[in-house]
Amino acid sequence: MANPLMQTIEALAKEKGIEPEMIITAIEDAVLTASRKYYKTNENLKTRFNPETGQVDLFAIKHIVSDVTDSATEISLTEAQALYGDEAEVDMEIEFPKRTDVLGRIAAQTAKQVIFQKVREAERENIFAEYNQRVGEVTSGSVKRFENGDLIVEVGRVESVLPRKEQSRAESYTPGERIRAVIKGVNRSAKGPQIVLSRTDPALLIKLFEQEVPEIYDGTVMVRGAVREAGDRAKVAVNSRERDVDPVGACVGMKGTRVQAIIRELRGEKIDIVEWSDDPVQFVTNALSPAKVQRVSIVDERERVMEVVVEDRQLSLAIGKKGQNVRLAAKLTGWRIDIKSEEEKRKEVEAQFGALEIADSEAAAADASAEPGEQTEAAGAELSPVAAEPGEQTEAAGAELSPVAAEPGEQTEAADADLSPVAAEPGEDGGTAKANDGN
């Protein structure tokens, strides 16, 4: 049958969630600390817990040496062999028992404090190691109290905190109410590990879908991403590994039973479930649901910018309340989305064409003002030889006209020459006539 002290140790270990060996080590350290304060020597003291008797034995350890330099920690070989015979050798250690019943009340109080401190440290380390591995999991607890806007939630045997910034603005809580939250992190502090919960993290939404949708739990349907504006709206992107399974339908459930359970847990937060696609254009089109998109074009692929055109009546729905729908879609897809209505796009195109026409007309006017000068210069360049040609022609004409002018002279002279005999002929004829008249 176990001794009472051992039973107490096992009960305490079960209550604190730690191993009994940790408590035994704490007791040994406590007795050792109290013994050093009581004896006030330089001896090498050591404690050992005896599970059979439930007592902590205290020993002074001495090292066997040939020449003793410190009698508190060393013993000669001769003395050691006198105590233990020939078995004692150099470099061996001998344990000398010391009394613990003389430690007194102050030493016992010191031992008690050391035990509590060691147990508390072991408990904190155990809690930190346990919950640090559960970061991202959903846990449930009951609201215990309020501290400066933060909620202190009792999760199992530890207290956790739900900060104000991690609370949904659409939710209110009362002491004793049970809530579910995701473990966001574990912080070390002087008072022990502090477990931080969150009701606004998208991981909570993903875990709730895993709990409500069997296809997500078994891996048939995968959640590719989730974004939230806690209390207002959320978007979840899902896809299926099997062609025959509709991922959106599996998450919605028959008559919306599955998604409605999640909406109730999130206190009425609207959830858009869209199908994920590796094509960014199709993914953005799906992410803007429930708005219907006319066309999507990639403006800058390196900067991840897209332009989306929707019908005029769908513009407000695509943008959402205070830009909520397009903002969530941009976060979900990772693209910057510029939404325009058909009317805006038409005016933009018309303005671009008008600017092009103005630019063309200005360019044509500039060309027109520049062409006459060019033509005049060209004409001047062409006219030089033309102006020279008449001179040449004149000279040529002069050259040609000289004989022509001479020809008439020549002809005149010839004519005169011709006329002389002609005139002479009449004179000769006249002389003949006169002669004839004389006769």
The predicted-structure confidence for 150-180, as pLDDT tens digits, reads as follows 999 999 878 899 999 999 888 888 899 999 9
> According to the model, what pLDDT value does residue 391 have?
41
pLDDT at 310: 92
**4-130 carries CATH number 3.40.50.720:** no
Task: Give mean pLDDT, residues 63-69.
Answer: 85
pLDDT of residue 383 exceeding 70: no
**Taking all residues of the chain, what is their mean pLDDT, rounded to a whole number?**
80
Percent with pLDDT over 70 in the chain:
84
3-state secondary structure of 266: coil
Which band of pLDDT confidence, cut at 50, 70 and 90, is reported for residue 95?
confident
pLDDT at 271 over 90: yes
d(CA 229, CA 234): 6
Rounded-to-integer distance, Cα 412 and Cα 417, Å? 8
What fold characterizes domain 134-198? OB fold (Dihydrolipoamide Acetyltransferase, E2P) (2.40.50)
Can you give the pLDDT at residue 203? 92
Residue 328's pLDDT is 95
| pLDDT tens digits, 280-316 | 999 999 999 899 999 999 999 899 999 999 998 999 9
Q: Which of 11, 10, 9 is nearest to 30 (CA)?
A: 9
pLDDT at 397: 37
Give the pLDDT confidence score for residue 428 in this predicted structure.
41
Measure the CA angle with vertex 322, ends 162 and 257; round to 5°: 60
Q: Superfamily for 205-276?
A: K homology (KH) domain (3.30.300.20)
Residue 247 pLDDT > 70: yes
pTM for this one? 0.64
Q: How confident is the model at residue 24 (pLDDT cuts 50, 70, 90)?
A: confident
* 326: nearest Cα among 410, 233, 242: 233
pLDDT tens for each residue of 100-137: 877 777 777 877 888 888 888 888 888 888 899 999 89
Please, are residues 161 and 177 in contact by the beta-carbon 8 Å criterion? no
Residue 257 banded pLDDT, cuts 50, 70, 90: very high
**Which is higher by pLDDT, 369 or 422?**
369
Does 342 score more than 60 pLDDT?
Answer: yes
Q: Is residue 339 pLDDT above 50, yes or no?
A: yes
Separation in Å, CA 116 to CA 55, 81, 100: 18, 42, 20
- Please choose, from the candidates 109, 99, 111, 110, the residue with its C-alpha nearest in 3D space to the C-alpha of residue 60: 99
DSSP letters, 288-320, are TTTSPEEEEEEEETTTTEEEEEE-GGGHHHHH-
pLDDT value at residue 398: 40
Q: Measured at the alpha carbon of residue 303, what is the angle toward residues 301 and 308, in degrees to the nearest 5?
A: 65
Q: CA-to-CA distance for 205 and 212, rounded, in angstroms? A: 11
Parse the chain into domains and list their residue ranges.
4-130, 134-198, 205-276
Position 372 scores a pLDDT of: 54
Half-sphere exposure of 261 toward its Cβ, with a 13 Å CA cutoff? Answer: 14
Q: Quick one: pLDDT at residue 227? A: 95
Q: How confident is the model at residue 371 (pLDDT cuts 50, 70, 90)?
A: low
**Can you read off the two tokens belonging to residue 152?**
């202190």
Length of the chain: 439
pLDDT of residue 2: 59
d(CA 285, CA 237): 12
Whether the predicted pLDDT of 389 surpasses 70: no
Q: Which residue has the higher pLDDT, 254 or 17?
A: 254
- Cβ distance 291 to 310 under 8 Å? yes
